A and B are shown apart, each in its own frame.
Chain A
Amino acid sequence: MAVTKRPLFDSLIVRRAIKDSFLKLAPAHMVRNPVMFVVLVGSVFTTFVLAREAIRGAPDVGFILQLTLWLWFTVLFANFAEAMAEGRGKAQADELRKTRRETQAKKLKSRDDVRNFGTVPSSSLRIGDLVLCTPGDIIPGDGEVIEGVASVDESAITGESAPVIRESGGDRSAVTGGTKVLSDQLIIRITADPGETFLDRMIALVEGASRQKTPNEIALTILLAGLTLIFLLAIATLQPLAAYSGGAVAVSILIALLVCLIPTTIGGLLSAIGIAGMDRVIQHNIIAMSGRAVEAAGDVNTLLLDKTGTITLGNRQAVEFVPLPGVRMEELADRAQLASMPDETPEGRSIVVLAKEKYGLRGRTLMDSSTSTSPTAPQPTFIPFSATTRMSGVDTDGSQLRKGAADAISQWVKQHGAEIPAQLTPAVEQIARTGGTPLVVAERTAASTRVLGVVHLKDVVKGGMKDRFDHLRTMGIRTVMITGDNPITAAAIAAEAGVDDFLAEATPEQKLELIRREQGGGRMVAMTGDGTNDAPALAQADVGLAMNTGTQAAKEAGNLIDLDSNPTKLIELVEIGKQLLITRGSLTTFSIANDVAKYFAIIPAMFAVTYPELNALNIMRLHSPNSAILSAVIFNALIIIALIPLALRGVQYRPIGAAAILRRNFIIYGIGGVIVPFIGIKLLDVILVLLHLV
């Protein structure tokens, strides 16, 4: 998806959010959030009190007015936080909607006759319809390529401008509505009805239209509702106690105390945190089918990572030349380079590069090399790799060079009547043992046929992976590498990459079995996949991140889709999930810890008339009862605004162990949560006095 980076407080979003904060005052909306609903009811009640006092012409009407305003602000600030969090998603959804414009589709009667189509609007297409797409056409809906191969521009969905290849059969057959065919033509079977396409779902997800509370959010809401109820009891019963003590308290002040004590900070920011967390996932170009999946990512204990593409670079690379006795190193390097010169595979390129970097052998074109040996020689011919010969090479005039698997080359050498040197086998085995792939190089000239040596091809572990796995380990997450390699190779790469475990010669069944086993032990498993045969495992995993380049089956089985199709993102996803939970926990702790100071501000003020002696509890030395109550209420409202950036960005996450994170966050949000309001309320009190507001 074309993700536009926006500043946190984009003016457009802010303006819309301000409007929305008022619209969100609707009781039907407010009731979903029990904490803020109580504040709303309190604000309405205080407004009535204000009206009554104003009519009566009571002396402290200015104080009640301020109190009422700040109570309303508390509600509005919470709504504003939620609207801000939604704003980013809404802006993105608007952009996506532009992509979903009505297009004309070439609907085919049958796949055999591509000339016989009728032009229909894309909205009339239904599952099973066949459409033809030619260069320049917008693909009218989600579907599966059943015929043809074409390059497709998917930037509207993924934001990636490089075109991708889509072809029938195999793992690249899925196409998405709204993308554009650049070359060739495709026959597509539509797989989604209008309104249910990937784009539609994406818009709904980004916009948060169908947002449901996640399990943890529900549990937290229960906690907050419970606490609210407890404080409601404490405040409601305070009136008879006050009456017994000789002086009832004004209801508006009771409401002020109630609003200060109930967890409004977290109550007001809770949904913003959740929406912002989902938004962060989208910023990473990942589409989460539910908030539950993001939360689950934070809980993951085991990561299953495919070796190729995730842990290692996609291809093996030459790292070493091992000449056999009697062959000079430079000679082997030279021959190997020559043999690989026309070989465009990454392995072949890496041999050329290695020879150049290590032995200063410049890359030559085949023309050059042939001219240097024999100016009149005919064109050298490239013998490409084939599954039957299992080798490749170059034929020049007078010599043939071959490189390939040890047994294939041995056979070739024997065919030409030469001996296999005894030293070859140990050299090959040595490389295999360390997890590398031995590539034997042999040369046949008119005079003789001989084995020159071995090229050591190796899987190259991506830079920085070992560190990331170490971080994951400190976070308590185990990494398991999944590979089709044999156990020896797998073990060597696993050791190099620093993963905790590996599954070698993995089949989809084994993968599924591994997930079930891990889950049976109480662990949560995350994995990535793109092929149809990954689908069962993706569905079974707690977090299944499907690649957007993958098949329809894989995308449907997973609960998240990575639009960049970068499997390494699984690790980032885990961090986003954790960050979401940490933000929630930290602000809950902060909110609850805030109460200590508020008791000390309001209780002495409340009973200033009945028991002036209670002023001993006024440890902040607040100016007057009215200033104390107002300061506490204002602090309570402003802290919501102050924490909006934190709620939207999330608490900074560091990959350290749970004990260390806990200590850090407890100090910042727990102890900080006790101290900050003491300072804040005192400051506000001073300001109120300076401004003569009390």
Chain B
Amino acid sequence: MTANGWLQIAFYSVVLLALTKPMGIYMVRVYDGSMGWLRPVERILFRFGRVDPEEDQHWTQYAAAMLIFSGVSMLLTYIVLRLQHILPLNPQKLAAVPDRQAFETAASFTTNTNWQSYAGESTMSYFSQMTQLAFHNFISAAAGVAVAVALARGIARRSAGRLGNFWADLVRGTLYVFLPISLVVALVQVQQGSIQNFLPYQEVQTLEGAKQMIAMGPIASQESIKEYGTNGGGFVNANSAHSYENPTPLTNFVQMLGIFLVSAGLTWTFGKMVKKQAHGWALWAAMYILFFAGVTTAYWAEARGNPIHAARGIDVVASAAQPGGNMEGKEVRFGIVNSALYATLTTDASCGCVNSMHDSFTPIGGMVPLVNMQMGELIFGGVGAGLYGILMMVLLTVFIAGLMVGRTPEYLGKKVESREMRMVMLYVLVFPLVILVLTGVSVVLPAGLKGLNNSGPHGLTEILYAFTSTPANNGSAFAGLTGSTYYYNTLFGFATLIGRFAMQVPMLAAAGFLAEKKIAPESAGTFPVTTPLFVVLLISVILIVGALTFFPAWSLGPIVEHLLMQAGRLF
């Protein structure tokens, strides 16, 4: 670990902190409908969709709108992927995407997961990439923020279970938040060297005289939404490790910032909506502490490298001449710290874009992304998903610890009772259910073991990681597991859908129930939600209730792998 490395992490933190409030203010105005510079476009869209943006939807209507919209757009994508060979903008004459893979891809992009069991450049036509995958990158992000804002409304107001208007939130989020950011960042990408064209792939002669095929395409325009909408699906297989997607340290920084920006801003937006700014910052602080713990661990593990190397006399110490540590699977232009930081960010938020190979991390370095996701994608988290994820944990914290102050648990003046707890528990159950059951089944079934490249604890981690990444709607791959099989395509597709909608619906129900409640005024007897102690409690609940469930699985995966590595065994 170097001073320069720490300085880069510190710089990143400061910029994120500085941008949280401006981003938050902006989104407050977007979602309360007072942002109006694209009003004419909005009006056309609402008239076209026959939507009354003022209609306040009951949580059931809100959830139904979200589900129907997601279902229809997913079906559309499935159809397009199946028919891409007869559709335009396919200079490479790529074939139709196979049935299961098309299903999985459609599910994965609809749910903001962007799990890719294919290589973009050899599977997707420009048409599929632009009209389907990029489209989902925008609207799945906007839908995620919409439901988070709906939850915030449920907490903030008393409205007989009404949470706002899904269509208005969806349109406004896309128009005012994601499109403008993407436009600006795409230009930065192009300026830094990302390509943007419709050319067929180029055959070039390498310096060694060999022939190489270079993929082309409208990459820059899809790059920015990939991070800012926490999607993570790369245009090409190498994702952000590829120089067309992530050409320079500057684009790397802009991308890393993008992964957290909207989610960090949403903590401020939430604080404003519930009229308790300090609580918004308390959430930010809890998220940041968990992020910092993760990046420190990952950075430490990767900078320390593999002790077997050191034992054999290989110099793994960082110096001016070499980055040292474990550079396997990392881009030289990003080095140890930016790879560890990127890996932490992309798994804290349910982004999933990668600039290094997580499979090649040391066991502990690779455990960080795994644990980040299993905590519930709430360390800033996916756009919207991070906020509602941590709010579900806040409800759990308030319920467990709130009793200790001698009152029926109360969150921001709303009593947390059995109806809400039922929904929170349904929400919390999804992760262990999907992750553990599907992993358990896959490590014993021949179909599950077939695609495995590594044996022992590392192989276990590969399967565990895949079944974590999909329901967590992260989409990053540990790799080392061939996911493009009938078995995995099917399971991953369902895992992403359950991880998204089986969590969002109970969450919206809880929001609706909270919206029916009276708001009790705050007093000296109220459970404090702005103090450092609250932050400690929240983190404890996330770790003990959320993450520790996976402790037995970790101990058979990365933990034992680490211990075995210390003893000189590798997998």
Contacts and interface: CB of A to CB of B under 8 A. Distances in A.
A339 B424 CA distance: 73
B524 A476 contact: yes
A227 B405 contact: no
Interface string A597-617: 001000110110001011011
B277 to A, nearest CB: 18
B403 A222 contact: no
Contact of B520 (A233, A522, A578): A522
Interface string B413-455: 1001110111011101100110011011101100000000000
B549 A230 contact: yes
Nearest to B460: A244
B439 A241 contact: yes
Interface majority SS (helix, strand, loop, mixed), chain A: helix
A13 interface: no
Interface stretch (B239-247, B322-330, B334-342, B550-558): B550-558
B404 interface: yes
A218 B526 contact: no
Contacts of B405: 582, 585, 658, 661-662, 665
Contacts of B523: 301, 476-478
Q: Which 3 A-B pairs have the closest CB atoms?
A: A585-B403, A476-B525, A578-B406
Contacts of A229: 425, 429
Choose among B407, B429, B536, B551 the residue with the greatest number of A CB atoms under 10 Å from its CB: B407
A240 interface: yes
A139 B483 CA distance: 83
A230 B400 contact: no
Contacts of B540: 593, 670
Contacts of B525: 301, 475-477, 657-658
A678 interface: no
A265 interface: no
A234 B436 contact: yes
Contacts of A218: 418
A249 B444 CA distance: 15
Contact of A223 (B421, B444, B567): B421
Given A227-B545, A298-B407, A614-B559, A215 B417 contact: yes
Interface of B: 396, 399-409, 413, 416-418, 420-422, 424-426, 428-429, 432-433, 436-437, 439-441, 443-444, 456-457, 460, 518-521, 523-528, 531, 533, 536-537, 540, 544-545, 548-553, 555-556, 559-560, 563-564, 566-567
B447 to A, nearest CB: 14
Contact of B460 (A245, A589, A599): A245
A242 interface: yes
Contacts of A299: 407-408
Choose among A298, A521, A585, A663 the residue with the greatest number of B CB atoms under 10 Å from its CB: A585
A623 interface: no
Given A585-B402, A606-B552, A613-B564, 20 more contacts: A215-B417, A216-B417, A220-B399, A226-B421, A234-B552, A235-B552, A237-B553, A238-B440, A239-B440, A475-B406, A476-B525, A521-B521, A522-B520, A523-B520, A524-B520, A592-B545, A595-B544, A611-B560, A613-B567, A662-B533
Contacts of B401: 585, 589, 662, 666, 670
Given A240-B444, A662-B528, A585 B404 contact: yes
Nearest to B553: A241
B325 to A, nearest CB: 22
B404 A589 contact: yes
A528 to B, nearest CB: 20
A476 B429 contact: no
Nearest to B557: A241
Contact of B403 (A215, A584, A599): A584
B263 to A, nearest CB: 25
A301 B408 CA distance: 12
B442 to A, nearest CB: 9
Given A521-B521, A657-B525, A666-B401, A226 B408 contact: no
B521 to A, nearest CB: 6
A114 interface: no
Interface in A478-522: 478, 521-522
Interface string A642-677: 000000000001000111011101100110000000
A267 B62 CA distance: 37
Contact of A607 (B420, B443, B526, B555): B555
Contacts of B416: 219
A230 B523 CA distance: 35
A145 B436 CA distance: 70
B544 A592 contact: yes
27 contacts: A219-B416, A220-B403, A223-B396, A226-B424, A229-B429, A233-B437, A234-B553, A240-B441, A245-B460, A245-B556, A473-B524, A475-B406, A475-B525, A522-B413, A585-B402, A585-B403, A586-B404, A592-B400, A592-B544, A599-B548, A611-B556, A613-B564, A617-B555, A661-B404, A666-B401, A666-B533, A670-B540
Contacts of B422: 222
Contact of B440 (A222, A237, A474): A237
Contacts of A606: 552
A243 B444 contact: yes
Contacts of A226: 421, 424-426, 428-429
Nearest to B528: A659
A614 B560 CA distance: 6
B421 A219 contact: yes
Interface of A: 215-216, 218-220, 222-223, 225-227, 229-231, 233-245, 257, 295, 298-299, 301, 473-478, 521-524, 577-579, 581-582, 584-586, 588-589, 592-593, 595-596, 599, 603-604, 606-607, 611, 613-614, 616-617, 653, 657-659, 661-663, 665-666, 669-670
A521 B428 CA distance: 32
Nearest to B418: A219
Contacts of B396: 223
A298 B460 contact: no
A659 B563 contact: no
B563 A223 contact: no
A659 B407 CA distance: 12
Contact of B404 (A223, A257, A669): A669
Contacts of A477: 523, 525
A662 B418 contact: no
Choose among A216, A219, A235, A666 the residue with the greatest number of B CB atoms under 10 Å from its CB: A219
Contacts of B443: 240-241, 243-244
Contacts of B439: 237, 241
Contacts of A301: 520-521, 523, 525
B400 A589 contact: yes
B418 A222 contact: yes
Nearest to A242: B556
Contacts of A604: 555
A596 B548 CA distance: 8
A245 B405 CA distance: 45
A233 B439 CA distance: 12
Contacts of B432: 230, 233-234
A592 B555 CA distance: 20
Choose among A257, A522, A604 the residue with the greatest number of B CB atoms under 10 Å from its CB: A522
Contacts of A613: 560, 563-564, 566-567
Contacts of B400: 223, 585, 588-589, 592
Nearest to A240: B440
Nearest to A599: B551
A577 B418 CA distance: 19
Contacts of A579: 406
A521 B521 CA distance: 7
Contact of B556 (A220, A233, A241, A659): A241
A666 B555 contact: no
A243 B439 CA distance: 12
B403 A588 contact: yes
B418 A230 contact: no
A180 to B, nearest CB: 40
Nearest to B441: A240
Contacts of A474: 524
